[in-house]
Amino acid sequence: MSDMPWLKSYPPKVHWDVRIEPKPVQHILAHAASNWPDRPAIEFMGKRLSYRELDDLSSRVAKGLQQLGVKPGVHVGLFLPNTPHCMIAFFGVMKAGGTVVNYSPLDAAKVLEHKIGDSRTDLLFTLDLAALYPQMAAMLGKTRLAKLIVGNIGEMSPAPDAVNAQLKAAKQLADVAWDDRHLGFARLADNDGRYAPYPVADPKDTVAVLQYTGGTTGLPKGAMLTHANLSAAVDQCVEQTNGTLRKLEPGGERFLCVLPPFHIYALTANMLFGLRIGAELVQHARFDPKAALDDIAGKELTVFLAVPTMFTALIDHPDTPKYSLHTLKYCGSGGAPLPVEVGQRYTAITGCEVSEGWGMTETSPTGTFSPQGSSKPGSCGIPSPGITIKMLSLDDPTKYVPLGEKGEMCIRGPNVMKGYWNKPEATAESTTFDGFFRTGDVAYMDEDGFIFIVDRCKDMLLCSGFNVYPRVLEEAIYQHPSIREVAVIGIPDEYRGQSPKAVVSLKAGAAGFTLKELQAFLKDKLGKHEMIQALEIRDELPKTPVGKISKKDLVDEEARKRAA
């Protein structure tokens, strides 16, 4: 008990030692389709798909993929927004025996190129949207990417022609070059669905998803998430929500799904967890506060999983007081620390306490949860079922520190990744002497097992729930012809949590520039989530005694300025 103090903080109906069975991810959909065949699985733009229909469509996609050569060892990319295509394609790949590689529409072209080559993606799903298709069409012939499977939002709506006419008028549709390198989503699924099942011999060893996470050297690393990792994370979600003040009923809940599906938080907490408990997933292609309010109130939704910026947007929306949001039973926050004031204001409006948790791509992304009714302000909660967390000494990496002392948070559990794809050195560096994963977060655990994160070992910012690495931004800024030196630091941002600020010095005789001019220069070099939001030009940047740029001095100066 002394080395697991969190056990005394567990709610009565939640068990840390719950039995977690490793299983293939596709069993989650098979279980739901068997138990609730006629219940709606997805609602999108007014159209519903039952669990039976979702299962059938994914089987048809699986057969189509197998006809294209997908089998164990083949990696299939998903470059999709939050539409039914994403779930159907995901389970189609799982059933066909392949591995999913998630791609983010926020990524710059050079990052997409790296991920395609590094992950060995030859086949990829996308939609004919102007915001998506051109980015991947540009990769055909330029990378190993050989074929695109292209869907259309309208085909998943009750009125395809009207939706497409609206998208076309808004110039949101792209012209697809239909040739032998392109295949329509509907055509791929035009078969009897009798695919050849591939038994997953060892769920603990077989990689289900390659989920890329930012790299401090500028190139993202692929976290190998096995079938057992993801199914364990879902089991952990189920067990820890047994302690909600208003019980979640299998086959009786309705989720608002607005998180981007390429993010591990959305993949596990919305899609896999939602399907596991037979929920109806109400999908929004993008987050719009007014549309979210309309659906929570109008469709009596019960579960909303989000990042702090989304809770802030709902709190601050001028129409919020007009809505009754009291059907919500469970609201979870992840991706970034939830400001205490935001959580309190949201609970006052909805009557639903926000349960805060911590996790990472590498942990699928479960890690901690906050028990409803007994959470501690400023804490990210206690270790989830089956997870052990310790704090590694910052001075001696062969020792853990006692309760109450700060150290690097290290985690072990069935949800922790197999390792980094093709990067054994990085995997070894992130592993402790006794096999725990090193998170890079500096934290302490109190006597009740609650964890408080105080800093990060890694040079990383959290912007709207996304990892942003200053070195990546600095390398892009250094391409500007006027730049002599640059340091990127994080500054507090009420909406995003943190925003990147560039502090620069210029070459002799070089012309200065505005923030808007710098942003225009960086537009094709950085993702939207990485864009610089503040700029300061100085004659010199502060240095350490050995001549390195001192970010600590810049951060301290920024803090003093804001305090004043």
CB-side neighbour CA atoms (13 Å) of 397: 12
CB-side neighbour CA atoms (13 Å) of 338: 33
Domain tally, the chain: 2
What confidence tens digit (pLDDT) does each residue in 166-194 have? 999 999 999 999 999 999 999 999 999 99
**Which helix (H) or strand (E) covers residue 420, if one does?**
strand 419-420
What would the DSSP string read from start to end of 220-284? -EEEEEEHHHHHHHHHHHHHHGGG-SSPPPTT--EEEE-S-TTSHHIIIIIIIHHHHTT-EEEE-
Q: Which of 247, 282, 219 is nearest to 420 (CA)?
A: 219
- Specify whether the backbone of 115 is left (phi greater than 0), alpha (psi in -120 to 50) or beta: alpha
Among 199, 218, 251, the domain-final residue is 199
What confidence tens digit (pLDDT) does each residue in 100-142 have? 999 998 888 999 999 999 999 999 999 999 999 999 999 999 9
- Check residue 307 and give its pLDDT: 87
Q: Which of 131, 368, 35, 353 is nearest to 233 (CA)?
A: 368
What confidence tens digit (pLDDT) does each residue in 367-414 have? 999 998 888 888 999 999 999 999 999 889 999 999 999 999 999 999
Strand 221-226 vs strand 280-283: parallel, antiparallel, or unpaired?
A: unpaired
Does 443 reside within a domain? no
What confidence tens digit (pLDDT) does each residue in 246-261 have? 899 999 999 999 999 9
CB-side neighbour CA atoms (13 Å) of 318: 0
- Check residue 547 and give its pLDDT: 57
Statement: residue 95 has pLDDT above 90 = yes
Does 305 reside within a domain? no
Q: Is the pTM of this model over 0.85?
A: yes
Residue 312: pLDDT band (50, 70, 90) is confident
Does 41 reside within a domain? yes
CATH number at residue 520: 3.30.300.30
Cβ contact 307:283 at 8 Å: no
Beta bridge mates, 451: 381, 445
Does 34 reside within a domain? yes
Does 290 reside within a domain? no
CA distance 543 to 323: 53
Among 199, 231, 250, the domain-final residue is 199
Q: What is the pLDDT averaged over residues 305-322?
A: 91
Statement: residue 546 has pLDDT above 90 = no
Statement: residue 216 has pLDDT above 50 = no
Could you tell me which residue, 24 or 375, shows the higher pLDDT? 24
Residue 334: pLDDT band (50, 70, 90) is confident
CA distance 459 to 469: 6
- Check residue 214 and give its pLDDT: 66
Does 247 reside within a domain? no
Q: What is the pLDDT averaged over residues 311-325?
A: 93
Max Cα-Cα span within the chain: 72
Could you tell me which residue, 184 or 544, shows the higher pLDDT? 184
Does 131 reside within a domain? yes
- Check residue 373 and give its pLDDT: 85
What would the DSSP string read from start to end of 321-346? GGS--TT--EEEE-SSPPPHHHHHHH
What confidence tens digit (pLDDT) does each residue in 447-505 have? 999 999 877 777 788 888 887 878 789 878 988 999 988 889 999 988 888 999 999 99
Residue 564: pLDDT band (50, 70, 90) is confident
**Which helix (H) or strand (E) covers residue 305, if one does?**
strand 303-306
Among 149, 178, 199, the domain-final residue is 199
Q: Which domain holds residue 145?
A: 25-199
CA distance 291 to 296: 9
Residue 97: burial class (beta carbons within 10 Å; 0-12, 13-18, 19+): buried
Looking at residue 362, the DSSP 8-state letter turns out to be: G
Does 172 reside within a domain? yes
SS percent in the chain: helix, strand, coil, step 5: 30, 25, 45
Q: What is the CA radius of gyration of the chain?
A: 23
- Check residue 544 and give its pLDDT: 61
CA distance 68 to 493: 47
Cβ contact 363:437 at 8 Å: yes
CATH number at residue 73: 3.40.50.980
Cβ contacts of 415 within 8 Å, gap of 6 or more:
229, 230, 232, 233, 236, 363, 364, 366, 367, 384, 386, 387
Q: What is the pLDDT averaged over residues 327-332?
A: 96
Q: In whole numbers, what is the pLDDT of the chain averaged over residues?
A: 93
